[in-house]
């Protein structure tokens, strides 16, 4: 069980993460403004020294996140890709994993909260699935330990995909003839490969390779020119401001929990991790979000209440760090966050052809 102290970084991280994402234009460049005002532009940080410092804080982004108890075989990731895109895993047969975590939109749907069965909406923002396997846990409150366990939840949630039971879901999968061979190839040692657990394992296997390498990763790998001077200065500002207290590791976050409103109370009705642990110290504590692709994954915070990245950065600095950032600092951090926007393997995330329904496959139910 995680203590509230281990999680104290989520609130400001989520906000800061959200805040720090828009790419800086030349108008936002503090060096350009300084030149226009006849002032001396800030010095460009030493690239080699800052790169080495960043390597120690963040480390390299892997191409996958393996599990010790099963292999990420092509058969499993191929099956997981199909299941991820298949809307028949919802009661209405209109909602898939990809509906809320759209792989063509950086793993989100751009909504404050996502529409589910019959248009119902939950209370929390749908986070990006990209790089999520690197996180300490899944969901804003960390109630699932990994992506495999997380994959089981939304399918049965009455507000989301609304399937009536695990048994109904398995019966549907078994009624689709093409899935039989896919499950047998993915789980050759199982007497009955089509099961709810194996469905989740396959989706998880697919998600464990959803990595988005960015210019920042090229910089960490030794390409000194991967970041321009403005982004480099932004990295220095990001580190020196204290953002890395929570936003660290390969995912630039996702490794700890943190209280939203760490140094200044932040009003939210959501009790966060408290609902999972029952610990009073976890009230208002959330998982620190990853800042990868943050400029593309708004709106921000657990409830999607903040639309502007600049506002998010300022809020996080004020409520999590006790700092009032100047415009130039906000622009600088935002420029660095732009360098965290990456690209997945297009062929890996492409929508696959789904096996056709069989004669006994249930139809949609919108009740």
Helix or strand or coil: residue 272?
strand
Q: Cα(36)–Cα(23) distance, rounded to whole angstroms?
A: 21
Residues near 69 by beta carbon (within 8 Å), at least 6 away in sequence: none
Cβ 72 vs Cβ 205: under 8 Å? yes
Cβ 333 vs Cβ 237: under 8 Å? yes
Residues 74-98 as b/e (b if ≥16 CB within 10 A, e otherwise) read: ebbbbbbbbbbbbbbbbbbbebbbb
Residues near 263 by beta carbon (within 8 Å), at least 6 away in sequence: 319, 320, 321, 322
CA 197 to chain centre: 23
> Could you give the dihedral angle defined by the CA atoms of residues 39, 42, 43 and 47, in that order, rounded to the nearest 10 degrees?
-150
Per-residue tokens: 335 = 């420029």
Q: How many CB atoms lie within 10 A of CB 351?
A: 13
Indicate which residue of 148, 160, 236, 295 is catalytic.
Answer: 160
Q: Cα(82)–Cα(260) distance, rounded to whole angstroms?
A: 37
Cβ 227 vs Cβ 235: under 8 Å? yes
Q: How far is CA 199 from CA 41, 103, 127, in A?
A: 56, 19, 21
Q: Residues 9, 14, 18, 19: is their CA dihedral positive or negative? A: negative
Cβ 159 vs Cβ 174: under 8 Å? no
Q: Cα(94)–Cα(89) distance, rounded to whole angstroms?
A: 9
Which residue in this structure is represented by tokens 């879901």? 169
Whether 160 is a known active-site residue: answer yes
The catalytic residue positions are 160
């Amino acid at each position: 069980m995680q203590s509230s102290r281990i999680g104290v970084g989520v609130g400001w991280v989520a906000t800061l993460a959200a805040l720090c994402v828009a790419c800086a234009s030349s108008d936002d460049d503090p060096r350009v403004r300084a030149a226009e005002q006849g002032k001396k532009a800030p010095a460009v940080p030493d690239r080699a020294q800052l790169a080495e410092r960043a390597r120690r804080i963040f480390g390299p982004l892997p191409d996958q996140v393996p599990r010790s108890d099963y292999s990420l075989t092509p058969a499993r990731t191929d099956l997981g890709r199909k299941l991820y895109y298949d809307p028949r895993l919802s009661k209405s047969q209109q909602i898939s994993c990809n509906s809320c975590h759209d792989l063509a939109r950086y793993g989100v749907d751009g909504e404050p909260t996502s529409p589910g069965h019959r248009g119902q909406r939950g209370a929390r923002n749908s986070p990006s699935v990209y790089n999520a396997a690197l996180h300490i846990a899944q969901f804003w409150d960390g109630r699932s330990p990994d992506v495999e366990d997380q994959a089981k939840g939304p399918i049965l949630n009455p507000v989301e995909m609304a399937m009536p039971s695990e048994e109904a879901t398995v019966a549907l999968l078994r009624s689709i003839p093409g899935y039989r061979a896919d499950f047998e190839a993915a789980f050759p040692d199982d007497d009955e490969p089509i099961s709810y657990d194996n469905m989740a394992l396959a989706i998880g296997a697919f998600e464990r390779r959803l990595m988005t390498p960015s210019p920042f990763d090229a910089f960490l790998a030794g390409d000194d020119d991967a970041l321009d001077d403005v982004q480099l200065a932004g990295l220095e500002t990001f580190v020196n401001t204290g953002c890395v207290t929570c936003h660290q590791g390969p995912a630039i976050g996702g490794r700890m929990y943190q209280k939203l409103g760490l140094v200044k109370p932040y009003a939210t009705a959501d009790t966060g991790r408290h609902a999972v642990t029952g610990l009073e110290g976890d009230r208002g504590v959330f998982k620190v979000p990853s800042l990868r692709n943050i400029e593309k994954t708004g709106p921000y915070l657990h409830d999607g209440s903040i639309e502007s990245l600049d506002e998010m950065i300022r809020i996080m600095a004020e409520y999590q760090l006790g700092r009032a950032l100047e415009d130039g600092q906000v622009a600088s951090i935002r420029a660095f966050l732009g360098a965290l926007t990456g690209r997945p393997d297009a062929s890996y995330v492409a929508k696959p052809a789904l096996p056709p329904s069989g004669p006994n496959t249930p139809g949609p139910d919108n009740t």
